[in-house]
């Protein structure tokens, strides 16, 4: 990893929502690991701000417990003690300007001069405007010497109109280059590796288009159900929770043109181009290109409306209308309570135009990017079966992160994202126009689903691979979901 690019000033990280789950599970273990790897700024301090009344000592104790439970790596008490000395806490209300005044005074005293500040919003998005207004009103966003940056957790809006409004509100006090909208999928090594597979090699790019690729499947299936988040999830559903952000982000990386550089603006320009090349669906198109479903028993879950029509599963067929992809279907699906946790991209190549071998044993080439678990990349191709005259068998070239880079080679995605925000690199964060363009694709689907109840809400068995309707979506095109074949590549080892 390159040497961190810091300006030498003290950096203060302020976490709003500091007494919450995200801080304990992800943010502090990630910041600690950056500290352990000597990647944090030389001089830094972390201020937690939250509703719970903690003293500094109680806050540190609470986070220490979280480290033991969630860090997933070994650490020494000595190192924790040094790290913990940089942790401070102040309680306050997000809507109370005087609490922000107190915070400003505490920071000024502790910083003893010019300093950088990273404000991390680990709070529900409804609180973003109040917090930013209060930071602004108390002069905390002014860049007089050090930089000021704000990290915003997802979801960014609940539809296009609310995302546009939220962008307007945050732009009142901040320039776009101070805003870091998080999508934790972009912090995943394997998601970044989509770009490296495509653009650090010469062999894939020439065939990465409509001339060679039959279709693309992106699956993000989850074995887990609602995990105590029913209150939130029932008002949101799978399209807002997984598609508007994570799945569309994966899609942009699979489909984008090579950017001129890895810089934030070049990369994000190309991503926006992909999203802009997808035509938002009409209600008639939503009826035939989408499947929405709920797992059986969902309505009996605690905190779920017994009449809820919130989908916990969706499958979509999308087309990208540009020279590279015209006519190539992208099938996307995600759901809760599915048979297996799998995040994978299947690139299904076309069949050879003609063949001298008996077709019944031949399968088209398939490239699978396993984003999680058993992270890696596999290429299925045909070989002559020994001791036959002209039969073929599918064989596999494979790369596993674990065998190539070691067991714990893959860091937590928040670690990379926090490092990038501290270093001012916004490449792996979503830009205002990108978020809005993504919403412009999701909005018409949501409207048709919610207003017209079209297509009808399907039902699937918990622990299955989703509803029959999702199979029909591909069967109508003479195709099928290929996860079993992809699993077979992994199972045969």
Residue 222 as a binder of ligand BG6 (CB under 6 A): the answer is yes
Count of residues engaged in binding ligand BG6, rule: CB under 6 A: 3
Catalytic residue among 246, 266, 378, 400: 246
Between 168 and 228, name the residue whose CB sits nearer to ligand BG6.
Answer: 228
Interface positions, 352-371, toward ligand BG6 (CB under 6 A): none
Between 241 and 415, name the residue whose CB sits nearer to ligand BG6.
Answer: 241
Bridge pairing between strands 115-121 and 148-152: parallel
Is the preceding omega at residue 155 within 30 degrees of 0, hence cis? yes
- Which residue in 470, 443, 431, 432 sits closest to 240, CA to CA? 443
Q: What does the DSSP 8-state code read for residue 242?
A: I
Number of H helices, E strands in the chain: 18, 15
Between 182 and 256, name the residue whose CB sits nearer to ligand BG6.
Answer: 182
Rounded CA separation 351/354 (Å): 8
Interface positions, 27-66, toward ligand BG6 (CB under 6 A): none
Could you count the other beta carbons within 10 Å of the beta carbon of residue 424? Answer: 17
Between 222 and 436, name the residue whose CB sits nearer to ligand BG6.
Answer: 222
Residue 412 as a binder of ligand BG6 (CB under 6 A): the answer is no
Rounded CA separation 292/467 (Å): 9
Q: How far is the CB of 238 from ligand BG6 (least distance, A)?
A: 8
Q: How far is the CB of 487 from ligand BG6 (least distance, A)?
A: 18
90-129 per-residue burial string, b: 16 or more CB within 10 A, e: under 16: bbbebeeeebbbbbbeebeeebeeebbbbbbbbbebeebb
Residue 375 as a binder of ligand BG6 (CB under 6 A): the answer is no
Q: How far is the CB of 194 from ligand BG6 (least distance, A)?
A: 15
Q: How far is the CB of 155 from ligand BG6 (least distance, A)?
A: 8
Bridge pairing between strands 115-121 and 87-91: unpaired
Residue 436 as a binder of ligand BG6 (CB under 6 A): the answer is no
Interface positions, 308-347, toward ligand BG6 (CB under 6 A): 343
Rounded CA separation 217/344 (Å): 8
All residues at 6 or more sequence positions from 296 whose CB lies less than 8 Å from its CB, including other chains: 459, 460, 461, 462
Between 234 and 241, name the residue whose CB sits nearer to ligand BG6.
Answer: 241
Interface positions, 258-297, toward ligand BG6 (CB under 6 A): none
Q: How far is the CB of 22 from ligand BG6 (least distance, A)?
A: 11
Residue 241 as a binder of ligand BG6 (CB under 6 A): the answer is yes
Query: Residue number with the shortest CB distance to ligand BG6?
Result: 241
Q: For 57-95, give the DSSP string.
A: HHHHHHHHHHHHHH--S---HHHHHHHHTTEEEEE--TT
Q: How far is the CB of 355 from ligand BG6 (least distance, A)?
A: 39
At 391 the three-state DSSP class reads coil
Interface positions, 446-475, toward ligand BG6 (CB under 6 A): none
Between 375 and 469, name the residue whose CB sits nearer to ligand BG6.
Answer: 375
Q: What's the alpha-carbon Rg for the chain, to the nearest Å?
A: 24
Residue 379, phi then psi, degrees to nearest 5: -120, 120
Residue 184 catalytic? Answer: no
- Which residue in 8, 6, 58 sits closest to 34, CA to CA? 6
Q: How far is the CB of 343 from ligand BG6 (least distance, A)?
A: 6
Between 222 and 469, name the residue whose CB sits nearer to ligand BG6.
Answer: 222
What does the binding site for ligand BG6 look like in residue numbers (CB under 6 A)?
222, 241, 343
**Residue numbers annotated as active site:** 246
């Amino acid at each position: 990893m390159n040497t961190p690019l810091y300006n030498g000033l003290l950096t203060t990280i302020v976490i709003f929502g500091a007494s919450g789950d995200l801080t304990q599970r992800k943010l502090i273990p990630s910041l600690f690991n950056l500290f352990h790897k000597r990647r944090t700024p030389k001089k830094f301090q972390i201020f937690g701000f939250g509703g719970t009344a903690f003293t500094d000592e109680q806050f540190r104790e609470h986070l220490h417990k979280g480290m033991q439970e969630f860090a997933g790596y070994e650490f020494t008490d000595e190192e924790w003690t040094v790290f913990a000395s940089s942790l401070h806490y102040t309680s306050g209300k997000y809507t109370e300007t005087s609490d922000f005044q107190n915070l400003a005074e505490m920071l000024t005293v502790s910083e003893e001069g010019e300093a950088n500040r990273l404000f991390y919003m680990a709070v529900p998005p409804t609180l973003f405007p109040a917090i930013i207004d209060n930071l602004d009103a108390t002069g905390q966003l002014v860049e007089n010497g050090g930089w000021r940056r704000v990290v915003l957790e997802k979801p960014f809006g609940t539809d296009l109109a609310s995302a546009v409004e939220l962008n307007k509100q945050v732009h009142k006090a901040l320039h776009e280059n101070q805003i870091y909208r998080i999508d934790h999928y972009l912090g995943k090594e394997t998601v970044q590796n989509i770009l490296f597979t495509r653009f650090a090699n010469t062999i894939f790019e020439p065939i990465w288009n409509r001339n060679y690729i039959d279709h693309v499947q992106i699956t993000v299936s989850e074995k887990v159900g609602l995990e105590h988040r029913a209150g939130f999830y029932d008002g949101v559903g799978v399209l807002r929770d997984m598609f508007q952000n994570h799945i569309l982000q994966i899609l942009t990386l699979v489909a984008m043109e090579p950017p001129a550089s890895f810089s934030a603006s070049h990369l994000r320009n190309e991503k926006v181009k992909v999203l802009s090349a997808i035509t938002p669906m009409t209600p008639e198109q939503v009826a035939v290109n989408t499947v929405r479903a709920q797992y059986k028993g969902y309505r009996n879950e605690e905190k779920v409306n017994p009449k809820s029509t919130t989908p916990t599963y969706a499958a979509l067929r999308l087309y990208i209308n540009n020279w590279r992809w015209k006519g190539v279907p992208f099938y996307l699906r995600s759901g809760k309570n599915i048979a297996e946790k799998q995040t994978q991209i299947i690139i299904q190549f076309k069949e050879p135009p003609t063949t001298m071998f008996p077709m019944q044993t031949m399968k088209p080439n398939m490239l699978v990017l396993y984003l999680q678990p058993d992270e890696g990349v596999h290429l299925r191709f045909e070989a002559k079966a020994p001791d036959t005259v002209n039969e073929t068998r599918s064989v596999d070239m494979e790369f596993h992160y674990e065998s190539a880079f070691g067991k714990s080679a893959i860091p937590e995605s928040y670690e990379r994202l926090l490092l990038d925000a501290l270093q001012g690199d916004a490449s792996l964060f979503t830009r205002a126009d990108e978020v809005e363009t993504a919403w412009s694709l999701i909005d018409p689907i949501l409207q048709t689903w919610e207003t017209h109840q079209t297509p009808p809400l399907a039902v699937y068995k918990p622990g299955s691979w989703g509803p029959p309707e999702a199979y029909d979506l591909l069967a109508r095109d003479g195709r099928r979901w290929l996860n079993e074949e992809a699993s077979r590549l992994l199972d045969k080892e």
